[in-house]
């Protein structure tokens, strides 16, 4: 049966490009003659019925904006049977018979639980700065976040050089090191610590010692917040304890990585996937996430997206230490 009314939501941590995705979904839906409903504040707004009909002008002038006009949330209530029942009742009340879900790992975990109980066609879009989903080469927001980190680390290097300082820069990534890895490589970091690799802190300290001896005065360490040794703060304290004479500073980039105008790459990815998601819904290809692999749009079932991993290429890991020496 043809889908008439689609609901769209953004959930979990926001990512630059979500607005471009919303725009593409709304305009593609309207193009196919569907009604499009914006569900505000993710699954929490679905539970509370915070749902409004959208028209084409609602998504004018947003392609270049960070954040999400639909707002987002991490809903604990949606993890409960009662929460899911309320959410489904709201969808029925609004006549919503198809969903487009934009978010990361938590969003798709929520979706899998929900669809075990309730039947409603849905397509997902990968919206997270972390790039920790399988079924796509890139996620919406990752490119922008890495560019933001690169710009910041370049600036830190200027001041580090001026003062002969060692800097520890902590970037986002609770479970995934893609931002740390890519920004670290792009900025010529001396070391990069990521959750996917066990941190050999002695090796890090030996490198600092060696660089000290040969009078290499600037040292930038990029650390993902989820690094197993304990993140930027613990790495910084350990270095200070071992090298009390070194001038050491830490900078946590934090949520600036989540904001800002999306890069062209994120705008194009979001537009392409938003269009593909609604087309897939219309064609009956559902309970899948739309992604891009090898420059082709591909669809991966939700349960594979959350169970799969997105391993970091070993050549990238080998490269770090060679290039930094
Ligand atoms: O999932 C995206 C992300 O930015 C992670 O990199 C980070 O660990 C987390 O969200 C932070 O979440 P919150 O904004 O809820 O503190």
Long-range pairs, 76-83, Cβ under 8 A, ≥24: 77/43, 77/44, 77/47, 78/43, 78/44, 78/46, 78/47, 78/110, 78/114, 79/110, 79/113, 81/117, 83/43, 83/47
Burial class (CB in 10 A: 0-12, 13-18, 19+), 191: buried
- Give the DSSP letter string of 186-233: HTT-SEEE-TTS---HHHHHHHHHHHHHTT---EEEEEETT-TTTHHH
Our answer on whether the CB atom of 172 is closer than 6 Å to any ligand 1 atom is yes
Pocket test for ligand 1, best of 172, 173, 178 (most atoms within 8 A of CB): 172
Our answer on whether the CB atom of 174 is closer than 6 Å to any ligand 1 atom is yes
* 130 is an active site residue: yes
Report the separation in Å between the CA atom of 172 and the middle of ligand 1, taken as the mean of its atom positions. 7
Q: What is the pLDDT of residues 96-127, one digit of tens each?
A: 999 999 999 999 999 999 999 999 999 999 99
| Residue 46 pLDDT > 70 | yes
Q: Do domains 5-141+262-307 and 143-258 have the same CATH topology?
A: yes
According to the model, what pLDDT value does residue 306 have? 86
In this structure, which residue's CA is closest to atom 15 in ligand 1?
Answer: 13
More confident residue, 81 or 310: 81
Q: Mean pLDDT, the chain, as a whole number?
A: 95
Q: Give Dmax over CA atoms of the chain in angstroms.
A: 72
Which whole number is the average pLDDT over 75-87?
Answer: 98
| Residue 243 pLDDT > 70 | yes
According to the model, what pLDDT value does residue 311 have? 79
According to the model, what pLDDT value does residue 320 have? 76
Report the separation in Å between the CA atom of 129 and the middle of ligand 1, taken as the mean of its atom positions. 9
Confidence of residue 17 (pLDDT cuts 50, 70, 90): very high
According to the model, what pLDDT value does residue 315 have? 86
| Residue 92 pLDDT > 80 | yes
| Residue 73 pLDDT > 80 | yes
Which whole number is the average pLDDT over 32-50?
Answer: 98
Report the separation in Å between the CA atom of 206 and the middle of ligand 1, taken as the mean of its atom positions. 32
According to the model, what pLDDT value does residue 325 have? 64
Determine the Cα–Cα distance for residues 135 and 284; give it in Å rounded to an integer. 19
Backbone angles phi, psi at 42, to 5 degrees: 60, -145
Which whole number is the average pLDDT over 116-145?
Answer: 97
> Which residue spans within 43-144 are E strands per DSSP?
51-54, 98-103, 122-126
Closest atom of ligand 1 to 129 CA is 2
What are the CA-CA distances from residue 258 to residues 101, 251, 300 (Å)?
Answer: 19, 16, 25
Our answer on whether the CB atom of 14 is closer than 6 Å to any ligand 1 atom is no
User: CB neighbours of 176 closer than 8 A, spacing ≥ 6?
Assistant: 130, 131, 132, 194, 195, 196, 224, 226, 310
**C-alpha 118: how far from chain center:** 27
Determine the Cα–Cα distance for residues 197 and 203; give it in Å rounded to an integer. 13
Our answer on whether the CB atom of 104 is closer than 6 Å to any ligand 1 atom is yes
- Per domain, the residue ranges of the chain are 5-141+262-307, 143-258
In this structure, which residue's CA is closest to atom 8 in ligand 1?
Answer: 174
The reply to whether CATH 3.40.1160.10 applies to domain 143-258 is no
Our answer on whether the CB atom of 258 is closer than 6 Å to any ligand 1 atom is yes
What 3-state DSSP class applies to 53? Answer: strand
Report the separation in Å between the CA atom of 75 and the middle of ligand 1, taken as the mean of its atom positions. 14
Query: Among residues 50, 97, 130, 266, which one is catalytic?
Result: 130
Confidence of residue 25 (pLDDT cuts 50, 70, 90): very high
In this structure, which residue's CA is closest to atom 1 in ligand 1?
Answer: 13
Q: What is the pLDDT of residues 280-321, one digit of tens each?
A: 999 999 999 999 999 999 999 999 998 767 778 888 878 876
Our answer on whether the CB atom of 106 is closer than 6 Å to any ligand 1 atom is no
5-141+262-307, what's its fold? Rossmann fold (3.40.50)
Instruction: Quote the Cα angle for 196-259-166, to 5°.
Output: 55
Q: Whole-model pTM? A: 0.96
Report the separation in Å between the CA atom of 213 and the middle of ligand 1, taken as the mean of its atom positions. 38
Our answer on whether the CB atom of 128 is closer than 6 Å to any ligand 1 atom is yes
According to the model, what pLDDT value does residue 138 have? 97
Our answer on whether the CB atom of 23 is closer than 6 Å to any ligand 1 atom is no
Confidence of residue 234 (pLDDT cuts 50, 70, 90): very high
Determine the Cα–Cα distance for residues 128 and 82; give it in Å rounded to an integer. 27
According to the model, what pLDDT value does residue 145 have? 98
Q: How many CB atoms lie within 10 A of CB 13?
A: 20
Report the separation in Å between the CA atom of 282 and the middle of ligand 1, taken as the mean of its atom positions. 32
Q: What is the pLDDT of residues 155-184, one digit of tens each?
A: 999 999 999 999 999 999 999 999 999 999
Determine the Cα–Cα distance for residues 183 and 142; give it in Å rounded to an integer. 11
């Amino acid at each position: 049966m043809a889908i008439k009314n689609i609901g769209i939501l953004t959930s979990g941590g926001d990512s630059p490009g979500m607005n471009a995705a919303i725009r593409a979904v709304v305009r593609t839906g309207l193009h196919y003659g569907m009604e499009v409903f914006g569900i505000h504040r993710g699954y929490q707004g679905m539970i509370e019925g915070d749902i409004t009909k959208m028209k084409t002008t609602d998504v004018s002038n947003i392609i270049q904006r960070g954040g999400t006009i639909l707002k987002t949330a991490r809903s604990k209530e949606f993890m409960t049977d009662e929460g899911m029942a309320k959410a489904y009742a709201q969808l029925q009340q609004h006549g919503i018979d198809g969903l487009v879900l934009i978010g990361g790992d938590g969003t798709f975990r929520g979706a899998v639980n929900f669809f075990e109980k309730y039947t409603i066609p849905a397509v997902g879009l990968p919206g997270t700065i972390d790039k920790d989903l399988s079924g796509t080469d890139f996620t919406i927001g990752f490119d922008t976040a890495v560019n933001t980190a690169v710009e910041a680390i370049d600036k830190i290097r200027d001041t580090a050089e001026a003062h002969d300082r060692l800097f520890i820069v902590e970037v986002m990534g609770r479970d995934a090191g893609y931002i740390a890895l890519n920004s670290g490589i792009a900025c010529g970091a001396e070391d990069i610590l990521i959750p996917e690799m066990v941190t050999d802190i002695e090796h890090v300290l030996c490198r600092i010692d060696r660089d000290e001896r040969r009078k290499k005065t600037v040292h930038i360490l990029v650390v993902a917040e989820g690094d197993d040794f304990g993140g930027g703060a613990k790495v910084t304290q350990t270095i200070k304890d071992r090298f009390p004479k070194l001038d050491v500073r830490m900078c946590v980039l934090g949520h600036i990585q989540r904001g800002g105008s999306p890069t062209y790459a994120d705008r194009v990815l979001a537009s392409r996937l938003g269009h593909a998601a609604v087309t897939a819904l219309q064609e009956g290809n559902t309970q899948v996430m739309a992604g891009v692999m090898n420059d082709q749009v591909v669809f991966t079932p939700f349960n594979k997206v959350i169970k799969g991993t997105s391993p970091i290429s070993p050549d990238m890991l080998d490269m770090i230490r060679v290039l930094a020496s």
